[in-house]
């Protein structure tokens, strides 16, 4: 099975000993993305909708770096406040059509760098 690491400047650099994404066979595993704007290095903490959008933009940048035609099949969302669930869903829905990926959403006590949200994903790469 083939294996490769994905690295793009269009998403935040890893803040630890991990890769932005890894391809194994036809699967792409995208590391959890916090709401850091890769162009400024600043994190969005005061607006959960903007933070959600930034996390998803980071994921999409890694997805595009791997394969323009890849498709997300599973998403994991980690929130420090489950009260933000509705706002997160509102933004999340704008990224996916009638066939969104499978998903889990859980509340956690804390996230890296004090982030209010972190999103990870798994995708399947296109054939050929």
CATH of the domain at 90: 3.30.1330.40
Query: Is the predicted pLDDT of residue 127 greater than 70, yes or no?
Result: no
Q: Which of 75, 76, 77, 80 lies closest to 115 in space, CA to CA?
A: 80
Q: What is the pLDDT of residue 128?
A: 56
pLDDT tens column, 6-55: 999 999 998 889 999 999 999 999 999 999 999 999 999 999 999 999 99
Distance in angstroms (rounded) separating the CA atoms of residues 12 and 5: 15
Q: How many structural domains is the chain composed of?
A: 1
Stated as kind and residue range, the H or E segment containing 107 is strand 102-107
Token pair recorded at residue 34: 């916090």
Q: What is the pLDDT of residue 1?
A: 77
> Among the options 22, 27, 91, 105, which is catalytic?
105
Whether residue 22 lies in the annotated active site? no
pTM above threshold 0.85: yes
Query: Is the predicted pLDDT of residue 61 greater than 60, yes or no?
Result: yes
Residue span of the structural domain in which 97 resides = 3-124
């Amino acid at each position: 099975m083939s294996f490769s690491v994905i690295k793009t400047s269009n998403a935040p650099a890893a803040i630890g000993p991990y890769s932005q994404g890894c391809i194994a066979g036809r699967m792409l595993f995208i590391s959890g993305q916090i709401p850091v704007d890769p162009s400024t290095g600043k994190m969005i903490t005061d607006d959960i909708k903007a933070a959600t959008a930034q996390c998803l933009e980071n994921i999409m940048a890694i997805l595009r770096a791997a394969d323009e035609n890849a498709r997300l099949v599973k998403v994991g969302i980690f929130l420090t406040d489950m009260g933000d669930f509705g706002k997160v869903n509102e933004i999340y829905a704008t990224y996916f059509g009638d066939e969104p990926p499978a998903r889990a959403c859980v509340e956690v006590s804390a996230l890296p760098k004090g982030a209010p949200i972190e999103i990870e994903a798994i995708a399947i790469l296109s054939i050929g």
